[in-house]
């Protein structure tokens, strides 16, 4: 009886230890997983968003008055990364994903070992050559020639592939770790916005850049992306026409994305977007960065503006996008007053019309378009919308 009790106790203790060990193992795995997720989330995060939610964040409401519709609702991935390390992790993750896709597309069998694959190769060769002995002999001779060649060239091929991958890695990582962010229009899955959170000084800077890249996504989806403006340099003085910074700022896509920041900032004060060209010019004059220059150009043209009814506003972020538009207008006006007037009356209103379309209300966009005489300077210098 004593022996039975001892044996029972031993089993009980062994079982309790096993349960404790299993419980500790589970806790350790859970803690390890939580730590891994925390480290990963520090270097990069992926958030699934859609255009309506993003525009609501921009304006506070969506659609912003007086727009009645919101036809655009594109889903996209917002990927925030921390500098070089975060972008490197995403690069490796994307590379592994592409490798897996390629394996599926090529109908490979990743679970088979080398011997099984060689066996399958010979089985396939035998079946395909049953009715053709000559083909079998030629296949065998071809294999005898090919195998030594592959063995000799394998190190060179591997070195070349490593070199290409390293070059691609350095090109992508260096540029992406230094830039503030970008919309990836080159990938198969183009609904991706990358933001380098390490480059953002404030939360407002982060929101500005997300809004900016989201406009690029809407431009791309509207098939209005590959028109930067082939003749746009003619707006600039001769000494700036080969300046890459000014050519970048004069890109239609970049002006529209920066104009969006002025539009949403104006809306937060006015609670309503303009639907006439005069109302739009008043919106521009209200911007504290470039409004005064716009007002002077409007007076030169003969547009009557009631300054007492103007709504003044500031755009978000530590580096205001309005400053860059102000720089463009100043340079244009200094170079050619007529160009500056055309930019105000004929170019910026068409870009605002494009923005109304991106916001999702095509009817309001077309109604605004009816106020603009086309073709005009926009079509000459920036291409047709």
Question: Among 15-24, 35-44, 105-114, 257-266, where is mean pLDDT lowest?
Answer: 105-114
> Residue 77 pairs with which residues in a beta bridge?
48, 192
In a domain, 209, yes or no: no
In a domain, 337, yes or no: yes
In a domain, 158, yes or no: no
The phi, psi pair for 48, rounded to 5°, reads -90, 120
Token digits of residue 30 = 């859970």
Question: Which residue segment(s) compose the domain that 267 sits in?
Answer: 224-382
- Average pLDDT of every residue of the chain: 78
What is the tens place of the pLDDT at every residue in 115-141?
565 555 555 455 544 455 555 555 656
Contact 338, 370 (CB under 8 A): no
First to last CA, the chain: 96
Residue 349 has pLDDT above 60, yes or no: yes
Residue 252 has pLDDT above 50, yes or no: yes
Residue 175 has pLDDT above 50, yes or no: yes
In a domain, 283, yes or no: yes
Residue 309 has pLDDT above 80, yes or no: yes
Question: 300, exposed or middle or buried, with CB in 10 Å at 0-12, 13-18, 19+?
Answer: middle
More confident residue, 360 or 19: 360
Give the contacts of 36 (CB within 8 A, at least 6 positions apart). Answer: none
Q: Which of 365, 140, 159 is nearest to 256 (CA)?
A: 365
- Domain count across the chain: 1
In a domain, 327, yes or no: yes
More confident residue, 376 or 175: 376
Residue 3 has pLDDT above 50, yes or no: no
Q: How far apart are CA 289 and CA 321, in angstroms?
A: 9
In a domain, 203, yes or no: no
Instruction: State the pLDDT at residue 284.
Output: 94
Overall average pLDDT of the 232-244 stretch: 86
Instruction: State the pLDDT at residue 326.
Output: 84
Instruction: State the pLDDT at residue 174.
Output: 56
- Cα 80 to Cα 45, 92, 131, 294: the distances in Å are 5, 15, 60, 36
With bands split at pLDDT 50, 70 and 90, how would you rate the model's confidence at 281?
A: very high
Q: Which of 369, 319, 343 is nearest to 252 (CA)?
A: 343
What is the tens place of the pLDDT at every residue in 316-335?
876 677 788 888 888 888 88
Q: Which of 377, 250, 270, 263 is nearest to 325 (CA)?
A: 250
How many residues would you count in the chain?
385
Token digits of residue 164 = 């290409």
Token digits of residue 319 = 């580096």
Give the contacts of 348 (CB within 8 A, at least 6 positions apart). Answer: 255, 259, 280, 284
The phi, psi pair for 65, rounded to 5°, reads -60, 145
Instruction: State the pLDDT at residue 290.
Output: 85
Instruction: State the pLDDT at residue 384.
Output: 55
In a domain, 183, yes or no: no
Question: Among 5-14, 23-32, 123-132, 212-221, where is mean pLDDT lowest?
Answer: 123-132
Instruction: State the pLDDT at residue 81.
Output: 85
With bands split at pLDDT 50, 70 and 90, how would you rate the model's confidence at 146?
A: low
In a domain, 10, yes or no: no
With bands split at pLDDT 50, 70 and 90, how would you rate the model's confidence at 262?
A: very high
Residue 266 has pLDDT above 90, yes or no: yes
SS3 47: strand
H/E stretch holding 44: strand 44-50
Q: What percent of the chain has pLDDT over 90?
A: 31
Contact 330, 293 (CB under 8 A): yes
What is the tens place of the pLDDT at every residue in 59-96?
999 999 999 888 778 899 998 888 777 777 777 777 77
């Amino acid at each position: 009886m004593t022996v039975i009790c001892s044996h029972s106790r031993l089993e009980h203790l062994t079982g309790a230890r096993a349960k404790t060990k299993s419980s500790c193992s589970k806790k350790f795995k859970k803690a390890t997983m939580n730590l891994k997720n925390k480290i990963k989330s520090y270097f990069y995060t992926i958030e699934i968003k859609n255009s309506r939610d993003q525009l609501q964040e921009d304006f506070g409401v969506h659609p912003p008055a007086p727009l009645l519709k919101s036809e655009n609702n594109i889903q996209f991935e917002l990927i925030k990364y921390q500098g070089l390390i975060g972008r490197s992790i995403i690069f490796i993750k994307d590379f592994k994903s592409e490798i897996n896709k390629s394996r599926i597309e090529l109908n490979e069998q990743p679970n088979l070992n080398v011997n099984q694959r060689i066996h399958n190769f010979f089985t396939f060769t035998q079946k395909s050559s049953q009715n053709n002995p000559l083909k079998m002999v030629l296949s065998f001779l071809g294999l005898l020639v090919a195998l030594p060649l592959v063995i000799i060239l394998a190190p060179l091929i591997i070195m070349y592939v490593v070199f290409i991958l390293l070059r691609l890695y350095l090109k992508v990582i260096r540029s992406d770790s230094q830039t503030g962010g970008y919309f990836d229009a080159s990938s198969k899955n183009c609904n991706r916005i990358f933001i380098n959170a390490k480059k953002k000084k404030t939360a407002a800077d982060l929101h500005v850049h997300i809004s900016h890249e989201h406009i690029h996504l809407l431009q791309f989806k509207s098939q209005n992306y590959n028109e930067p403006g082939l003749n746009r340099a003619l707006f600039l003085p001769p000494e700036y026409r080969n300046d890459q910074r000014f050519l970048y700022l004069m890109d239609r896509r970049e002006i529209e994305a920066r104009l969006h920041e002025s539009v949403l900032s104006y809306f937060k004060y006015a609670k309503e977007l303009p639907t006439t060209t005069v109302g739009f010019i008043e919106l521009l004059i209200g911007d504290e960065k470039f409004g005064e220059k716009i007002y002077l150009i409007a007076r030169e043209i003969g547009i009557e503006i009631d300054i007492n009814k103007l709504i003044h506003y500031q755009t978000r972020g530590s580096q205001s996008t309005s400053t860059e538009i102000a720089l463009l207008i100043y340079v244009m006006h200094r170079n050619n007053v007529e160009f500056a007037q055309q930019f105000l009356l004929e170019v910026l209103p068409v870009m605002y019309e494009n923005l109304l379309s991106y916001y999702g209300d095509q009817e309001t966009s077309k109604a605004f378009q009816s106020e603009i005489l086309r073709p005009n300077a926009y079509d000459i210098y920036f291409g047709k919308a």
